[in-house]
A = this chain, B = another copy of it.
Amino acid sequence: MLAPATVANVVCGFDVLGFALNEPNDTMHLRLTEQPGVTIINEDDYNLPTEPARNVAGAALLAFLRAVPEPVGIEVRISKAIKPGSGIGSSAASAAGAVVGANQLLGNRFSKPELVEFAMYGEEVSSGVRHADNIAPGIYGGVTLIRATTPRPDIVPLSAPPLFVTVVHPQIEVKTSDARQILKQQVPLKLAIQQWGNVGALVAGLLQHDYDLIGRALEDVIIEPVRSILIPGFQEVKQGSQAAGALGGGISGSGPSLFMLSKDEATARAVEAVMHDVYERLGLDHHTYLTTINQQGVTLVAPPSA
């Protein structure tokens, strides 16, 4: 099973917009076990916790199993390609992959909104916040809008025109919890209005396949001015990418990864070159991805080994 990386926040769409990427993906294998409960086996070098309640996939599966009346045992083997802490939905991939896989093993008895709810317990383990903006695109694929998370997640899948996504992950650490703490809890109404004008316009640009409007709407007057300070090279990457023809972009999730959207592959390659240049000049190890939007979300590549 492949669980995709995801970009959350999407500039103006803080906490409400996200999309799935065709790469990188975590590889996960799930199977039913005789012993009820959750077993986590990490097949990578990240030394993530294996105690289910402290593991992202584990916490999601525990929430899933609480909704299943009969005793069920699930073992999950995880080989992560999405580096934890990179800001492209590493924890969401584990949580989304786990619940989609478990649901498949039990005959798909839960709906996508229900799976999102279970997986949000995994996000809580990782960041302290039960947010859905990486989980939802991981489960639905494509671009998703979270209208609300309470009382239940209200998820709106949005069709989008073809978009190329260039991502750079500079190897610095920005913890989601720290990135949340530096945000002001009160924002000027004036800026909030600008932000929701941009969110509305971004949704319209996506649905109407209007690249120019998407570009104009990719403006964040609230979060980016604060958080971009945590990410060396941010302004250079953003300005250089836009000069190279990118529609726009910004911080992926809470960083440190940055993403840029482009209309065509040649532009996305030029953006990738800008990203390399900036981080080579800064002497920072970094990794880039040039990919497109994943329309399926978590993908079963082989029959479940039940």
Answer yes or no: A23 CB below 8 A from chain B CBs: no
| Segment touching B, from A73-81, A191-199, A282-290 | A191-199
Q: Which residues of B contact A13 (CB under 8 A)?
A: 196, 200
Answer yes or no: A183 CB below 8 A from chain B CBs: yes
* Bound CA span A253–B297, Å: 41
Contact (Cβ within 8 A) A186 B188: yes
Q: Distance in Å from the Cβ of A69 to the closest Cβ of chain B?
A: 30
Contact with B along A248-271 (1 / 0, CB 8 A): 000000000000000000000000
CB-contacts of A1-41 with B (<8 A): 12-17
Contact (Cβ within 8 A) B192 A187: yes
* Bound CA span A195–B207, Å: 20
* Bound CA span A156–B216, Å: 11
Known contacts: A147-B216, A147-B217, A187-B186. The answer to whether A16 contacts B197 by CB under 8 A is: yes
In the complex formed, the residue of B with least CB distance to A185 is B189
* Bound CA span A203–B15, Å: 17
**A156, A189, A198, A203: most-surrounded residue (chain B CB, <10 A):** A203
Contact (Cβ within 8 A) A201 B12: no
Q: Which residues of B contact A17 (CB under 8 A)?
A: 200
Contact with B along A142-159 (1 / 0, CB 8 A): 000111100000101010
In the complex formed, the residue of B with least CB distance to A147 is B201
Answer yes or no: A63 CB below 8 A from chain B CBs: no
* Bound CA span A14–B17, Å: 20
Answer yes or no: A204 CB below 8 A from chain B CBs: yes
Q: Distance in Å from the Cβ of A176 to the closest Cβ of chain B?
A: 16
Q: Distance in Å from the Cβ of A221 to the closest Cβ of chain B?
A: 10
* Bound CA span A202–B202, Å: 12
Which listed residue (B15, B156, B189, B197) contacts A193, Cβ 8 A?
B15
Q: Distance in Å from the Cβ of A10 to the closest Cβ of chain B?
A: 10
Contact (Cβ within 8 A) A12 B196: yes
In the complex formed, the residue of B with least CB distance to A145 is B200
Known contacts: A186-B187, A208-B207. The answer to whether A201 contacts B154 by CB under 8 A is: yes
23 inter-chain pairs at a CB distance below 8 angstroms, sorted by A residue, are: A13-B200, A14-B196, A145-B197, A145-B200, A145-B204, A146-B197, A147-B198, A148-B216, A156-B201, A156-B204, A158-B204, A185-B189, A186-B189, A187-B187, A187-B188, A192-B192, A196-B196, A199-B199, A199-B200, A200-B200, A200-B202, A207-B207, A207-B208
- Please report A residues at the B interface, Cβ cutoff 8 Å: 12-17, 145-148, 154, 156, 158, 183-190, 192-204, 207-208, 213, 216-217, 222
- Beyond the given pairs A13-B200, A207-B207, 10 more chain A to chain B contacts, judged by CB atoms under 8 angstroms and listed by A's residue number, are A145-B197, A147-B197, A147-B201, A147-B216, A185-B188, A187-B189, A189-B222, A192-B195, A196-B200, A204-B207
